[in-house]
Amino acid sequence: MIRINLLREKVQKPPSVLWQLWVYLLTVVVVSGLVGYVGWNQKRQINSLTREKARIEREIKLYQKYDKLVKELEAKTAEIKRRSEIVKSLLNDRDYAVRALALIAVLTPSDSMWFETIQYNDGSLTLKGYAKSDEVIVDFIRRLEGSPYVLRDSVRLIRTKTDEYLGRALKSFEMEVKVLPFSQVVSGKGTGEKELSKR
């Protein structure tokens, strides 16, 4: 069987140029609007960040000024503290030389030992002199080691020899001893005989 379509075909009209032009223009306007909005938004954010950066830089400058002041104050405080410690140590041990000489004078056997020189250097006394015998020197060393004002194990005999002095045979000697500052002995920071007896 043969079928014949007698209905007319619908003729499709090509889209009008005017409609295409409107769609194109509308697309251009929408895209331009979006690009403009994005650009405006970016510019607004850039301006906001620039203002924030300027504010932060001002704060940094302000804090740098305060930081510099704090460092200067800390340096001045450290200097004052250092000077205060020096003054305290000078006040505590201002009579060190007198006490050290008095200690040596008290412990020295007066009729059998004489000193030629006593030198002070960096907390140590160097004693040079003459004694009648080695026993006198040993006795003097024992007296020094027994004193709470002498640093434990600091007495050191450097040399001894027999010399003639004013026509007599005497023992010349040189020894070194560390005499503690009085403030250390009083505060218990010394290491003399008293500290040994506590053990």
CB 131, CB 143: distance < 8 Å: no
Q: Average pLDDT, stretch 141-168?
A: 88
Q: What residues does each domain of the chain span?
A: 17-92, 96-197
Nearest C-alpha neighbor of 48 from the set 60, 36, 56: 56
Provide the 3-class DSSP secondary structure of residue 171.
strand
The answer as to CATH 3.30.1360.100 being correct for domain 96-197 is yes
| Pairing of the two strands 113-121 and 124-131 | antiparallel
The more confident residue out of 62 and 190 is 62
Residue 197: DSSP 8-state? H
Q: What pTM does this model have?
A: 0.49
Residue 47 banded pLDDT, cuts 50, 70, 90: very high
More confident call, 9 vs 197: 9
Reduced to 3 states (helix: H, G, I; strand: E, B; else coil), residue 14 is coil
Facing residues of 159 across strands? 174
